[in-house]
Amino acid sequence: MTAEMGLRLGQVAGLHFRRGNRRHTVVIGKDTRLSGYMLENALVAGFTAAGMDVVLTGPLPTPAIGMLTRSMRADAGVMISASHNPHSDNGIKFFGPDGFKLSDTDEEAIEAGLRVNAPMVEPAEIGRVKRIDGATDRYIEFAKHSFPREMRLDGLKVVVDAANGAAHRTASRLIWELGADVIEVGMSPNGININEGCGSTAPEAACEAVRANGADLGIALDGDADRVHMIDETGHVIDGDQLMAAIAEEARVRGKLNRDTLVATIMSNIGLERHLADNGIGLVRTRVGDRYVVETMRAHGYNVGGEQSGHIILSDHTTTGDGLIAALQALAVMLRSGRPASEALHRFVPMPQVMRNIRVAPGSRPLEQETVRQVIRDHETELGATGRIVVRPSGTEPVIRVMAEGEDRDRLEAIADAIGEAMTSAPVRPVTSSTTLFAKLSA
């Protein structure tokens, strides 16, 4: 992910999003990574070369860019972020004019454009650039309106961990304005400490802050604030599966869960599925990625969905995963119940899951190796109906993710290790000219 790639991508995407003979606009936001400055300037050069005007927001949560794209009637939105990854990574997420992430068709069209020389507009048609004030305020007010009007957080002590990321100007202010006393964690970005020992992927700091301060609750976001994990008053983590269960059950009781169904991915715990069934709620599973959850929700009219990792999509309020809005809905569940988070937001006992992230040699392509496939099949047969195995390439990191789920954790550990060993032992195959050169633009 270089400046050159950013420039080319901006130019190709700019041409893709231009519709008709008029001025066109793209909204560009970013998280707090040092490389964001480089990519922001590169994208600006590309979009203006394609004749698009650019609106810069500075650091803002990913869902804020989706909201602003639609609210400002822009032709596209761009978020510069590698989400929960370390500062050394970066990425680019696109939103269409409706505020939703792009379809596979749109992404493939942009990727195809990277393989040819994109034309530049005439000098008099080059786009203009401006930085807007007030984008943070607009997003905070938007998020606050998702919280029940009759409710306040007065008397609650809440730890808010922004992962030194995109929500460092919005998260604690939002919760404070709703009445809570706020203890801040991960609010001092320096360009290289995003997600470092804090946030939803490293919630130990927020857990310790909850315990040390006697807080009622903790909210831990990831680097671009589209994910959330919460922490109960005892310092235990509440993951996306538990939050989805609590929000969906509350919505069903209030007659607001469309088709009495929740949408989740293949990674969600089987305990969630069983719990929902016991409470009259169906579960539809999708491939991994919040974009695929959203596509299924839109296609069938569902309004609650998400991922175990904390991407939670509430389509009555947002077009994409929004960690802060999801946290507000969970807080509303807790307040209505009159019970502490440890009782209100822990809804089921999860079945044991074991995760492995396997780094493999470049060119090895282990999932194409019959020996690896056979190892996976053998262990699937061993688990039978008592468990399952999910093996997939990561959409954001150069690793293959292995998940084993079942009754016996020790056996799951052995199975995950055996699959990982089979993959790392796979022979390296030479890269051919037909190898795909460009990764997916978003995951």
Q: Which residues belong to the active site? A: 83
Residue of 309, 304, 293, 294 lying closest to 396 (CA atoms): 309
Beta bridge partners of 284: 263
Which sign, positive or negative, has the C-alpha torsion 211, 180, 197, 401?
positive
Q: How many residues does the chain have?
A: 443
Residue of 297, 170, 282 lying closest to 226 (CA atoms): 170
Pairing verdict, β 312-314 and 353-358: unpaired
Neighbours of 199 (CB within 10 A): 29
CA 138 to mean position of chain CA atoms: 21
Neighbours of 340 (CB within 10 A): 14
CA 175 to CA 166: how far, in whole Å? 16
* Maximum separation of any 2 CA atoms in the chain, in Å: 68
Residue of 72, 102, 71, 82 lying closest to 31 (CA atoms): 82
Which sign, positive or negative, has the C-alpha torsion 187, 192, 197, 202?
positive
Pairing verdict, β 261-265 and 304-306: parallel
Question: DSSP H helical segments within 188-239, as ranges?
Answer: 204-213
